[in-house]
Amino acid sequence: MSNSLTGKHLKTWAVAAAIGAAGCVGHHTPGPTPEATVPFPVGSLAGRDVGVLPFTLILADDSLHWDAALADRPKVLATADSTLLAFLTTRIPEIAWKAPARMWRGARGANGLPDDPHQLGIAVLRQVPVGAFVPDPLRAQLRILGAVAGGSYVVAPAALFYKPDSSERKSDTSAVSKRALAEVTLVIVDVRLGQVSWRSTARGVGDDPWSALSHALKTLTPGMP
């Protein structure tokens, strides 16, 4: 699989572990290979107008006990949107970003678009590989959005998942950890073609949802402080 905006091929691998016990050797079957973190293709989009779509899917593992922190869905989505937009505008200023609210103002009254951008089926993109077409009706909606709001590309946060931080060492195994691994999947869609042209899954650890998300997003711009 390759990202068409970067022109680089991704490499995947699997790791198998052999375990010897009681005079016999067993083999551990590895789980799914984590999707690679591919740096943001800044050079390919520099100087362009690029829309930013909102988050629609944010979930946390039950073991984190973050139910209260993520209970207010409208507030959680708005905070995730602002965190992503702040990352893009601060760390990738070469691109002219269009926030979801700005795009929706430009697309007001367009047929086929929901009143609220959070009602778009953006989460379906978490399963769409690079080079594949976006499923309808989202594909048609993004084409309409590009036509009326301007811009040939959009960045879409396909999913944000919070999981326990497996790297954390606990002296008390009964203690409840508040640290979590944020795993955010972003894709870039060429709205004229209706194709995914780049995708990456970024990961970062934090004591709360938003520091973890911020740390994850920073891995998309390696070499920067």
The domains found in the chain, sorted by start residue, are 37-167+174-218 (3.40.50)
Model confidence at 11, pLDDT cuts 50, 70, 90, reads: very low
Can you give the pLDDT at residue 84? 98
**Mean pLDDT, rounded, for 194-209:** 96
Residue 190 CA to residue 22 CA, distance in Å, equals 56
**Mean pLDDT, rounded, for 140-166:** 92
Can you give the pLDDT at residue 26? 45
- Strongest mean pLDDT among 64-78, 100-114, 161-175: 64-78
Least confident of 13-22, 26-35, 77-86, 200-209: 13-22
For residues 190 and 152, is the Cβ–Cβ distance under 8 A?
yes
Residue 208 CA to residue 211 CA, distance in Å, equals 6
